[in-house]
């Protein structure tokens, strides 16, 4: 997503949706208009009235889910605009809202097996404000006060990302619990973790003592090497059964920054290791014996795949009757398909095949296996 400015061109952010997510996108171009908020309020009251009278005419996803999500992200912008006006006056600042946007969405996490998505789980709701900007000036042209104001307002904007959903979705019986970058760092400090302010001078020492994911460490390293400073904590925090981490990337010359929150779930290393092992055994004959061994490279994954499947049959049935074969396919067909897919991809890589060729081969294997299995799996 992004927007275009005549004097600056495109200003974009990477945002990769997951199939099945419901996303509400809000634009705050120069404040939230009263008529816009009033229209949304009327729509939600109409939906509530229909539900209470059990009149479900013209009630769809937009009315039942979309309006509620949109109201949350719109409330975030509206409340922050009010707080911006108050804090700017107190800090002797002049501020105008520049075009900003953000989303509030259902959070769907794909479940993978050997790199292939098998299922999804809904893990809550997520607010992601990709771009929120202001035109700011200090009335006395005090640069230090201007930087301090940017730092303070950025921390408040981050905190509101968890406070607004908490307020809107909590009930006395079922309170909602939100987390943001600022809150994650506060939780880490409450646990006794060391809070790091990472700069060029202490980058190596900080990274050696921080046990967060490599992706986070790479973000920290890249940001510091680009002249930014990063505030983060030592290790993941456990927040209502979910591991999370927060880190803040700030420009020390302006006080503006990015307030990042990330999950501690990590299954990529296992899948990467499996893929590397498969590729190693597939490419090994080519490396050792040259191009003439291409057929050997093709044969290894096929033979190993067949051995795994037949081994599974033997271990599960120890019999070669037709009924046992049917039982195996009915019980373990998906695993067989995934093993074939995994090895087929390794074959395609080793043989230098194009991605399209791999997909054709993959489709053929899946078609054959589906015919073999019949109606054994829904």
3-state secondary structure of 154: helix
- Distance (Å, whole) CA 348 – CA 302: 12
pLDDT tens column, 37-85: 888 888 888 888 888 888 888 888 888 888 888 998 999 999 999 999 9
Q: What confidence score (pLDDT) does residue 297 get? A: 44
Q: Is the pLDDT of residue 282 over 50?
A: no
How sure is the predictor about 366, in pLDDT bands with cuts at 50, 70 and 90? low
How sure is the predictor about 316, in pLDDT bands with cuts at 50, 70 and 90? very low
In this structure, the chain runs to a length of: 378
HSE-up (13 A, CA, CB side) for residue 261: 24
Q: H/E element holding 136?
A: strand 134-138
Look at residues 37, 103, 41 and name the one whose alpha carbon lies nearest to residue 69. Answer: 103
Poorest-pLDDT segment among 8-12, 65-69, 373-377:
373-377
- Distance (Å, whole) CA 310 – CA 227: 57
- Distance (Å, whole) CA 177 – CA 97: 29
How sure is the predictor about 342, in pLDDT bands with cuts at 50, 70 and 90? low
Average pLDDT over residues 23-37: 87
Q: Is the pLDDT of residue 173 over 60?
A: yes
Percent of the chain with pLDDT over 90: 33
3-state secondary structure of 126: strand
Higher pLDDT among residues 297 and 38, named by residue: 38
β pairing state of 242-250 and 195-198:
unpaired
Please name the residues in contact with 307: beta carbons below 8 A apart, sequence gap of 6 or more.
none
Q: Is the pLDDT of residue 124 over 70?
A: yes
- Distance (Å, whole) CA 238 – CA 259: 19
Average pLDDT over residues 291-319: 46
Please name the residues in contact with 313: beta carbons below 8 A apart, sequence gap of 6 or more.
320, 324, 325, 328
0.85 surpassed by pTM: no
Pull the structure tokens for residue 63: 């009315």
Look at residues 301, 283, 302 and name the one whose alpha carbon lies nearest to residue 293. Answer: 283
How sure is the predictor about 93, in pLDDT bands with cuts at 50, 70 and 90? very high
Q: Is the pLDDT of residue 320 over 50?
A: no
CA distances to 87, 160, 228, 240, 287 from 193, rounded to whole Å, are 31, 23, 22, 18, 48
Question: Please, what is the average pLDDT of the chain?
Answer: 76
pLDDT tens column, 175-231: 888 899 999 999 999 999 999 999 999 999 999 999 999 999 999 999 999 999 999
- Distance (Å, whole) CA 208 – CA 142: 38
Give the orientation angle of helix 143-169 with respect to helix 67-90, to 10 degrees: 150
């Amino acid at each position: 997503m992004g927007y275009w400015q005549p004097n600056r061109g495109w200003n974009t952010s990477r945002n990769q949706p997951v199939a099945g997510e419901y996303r509400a996108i809000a634009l705050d171009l120069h404040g939230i208009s009263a008529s816009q908020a009033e229209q949304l309020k009327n729509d939600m009251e109409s939906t509530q009235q229909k539900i209470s009278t059990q009149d479900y005419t013209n009630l769809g996803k937009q009315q039942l889910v979309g309006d509620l999500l949109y109201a949350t992200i719109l409330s975030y912008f509206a409340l922050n605009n009010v707080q911006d006006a108050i804090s700017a006056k107190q800090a002797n600042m002049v501020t105008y809202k520049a075009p900003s946007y953000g989303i509030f969405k259902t959070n769907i996490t794909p479940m993978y097996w050997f790199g292939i998505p098998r299922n999804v789980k809904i893990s809550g709701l997520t607010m992601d404000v990709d771009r929120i900007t202001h035109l700011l000036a200090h009335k006395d042209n005090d640069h230090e006060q201007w930087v301090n104001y940017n730092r303070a307002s950025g921390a408040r904007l981050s905190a509101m990302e968890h406070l607004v959903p908490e307020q809107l979705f909590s009930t006395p019986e079922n309170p909602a619990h939100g987390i943001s970058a600022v809150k994650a760092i506060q939780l880490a400090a409450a646990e006794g973790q060391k809070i790091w302010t990472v700069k060029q001078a202490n980058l190596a020492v900080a990274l050696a003592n921080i046990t967060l994911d490599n992706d986070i460490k790479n973000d920290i390293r890249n940001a510091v090497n680009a002249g930014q400073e990063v505030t983060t904590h030592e290790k993941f925090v456990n927040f209502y059964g979910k591991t999370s981490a927060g880190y803040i990337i700030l420009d020390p010359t302006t006080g503006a920054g990015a307030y990042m929150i990330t999950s501690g779930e990590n299954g990529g290393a296992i899948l990467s290791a499996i893929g590397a092992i498969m590729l190693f055994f597939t490419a090994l004959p080519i490396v050792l014996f040259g191009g003439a061994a291409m057929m050997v490279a093709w044969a290894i994954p096929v033979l190993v795949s067949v051995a795994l499947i037949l081994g599974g049959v033997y271990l599960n049935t120890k019999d070669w009757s037709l009924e046992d074969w049917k039982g195996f396919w009915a019980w373990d067909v998906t695993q067989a398909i995934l093993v074939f897919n995994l090895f087929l991809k390794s074959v395609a890589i080793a043989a230098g095949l194009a991605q399209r060729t791999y997909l054709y081969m993959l489709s053929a294997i899946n078609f054959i296996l589906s015919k073999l299995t019949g109606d054994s799996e829904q």
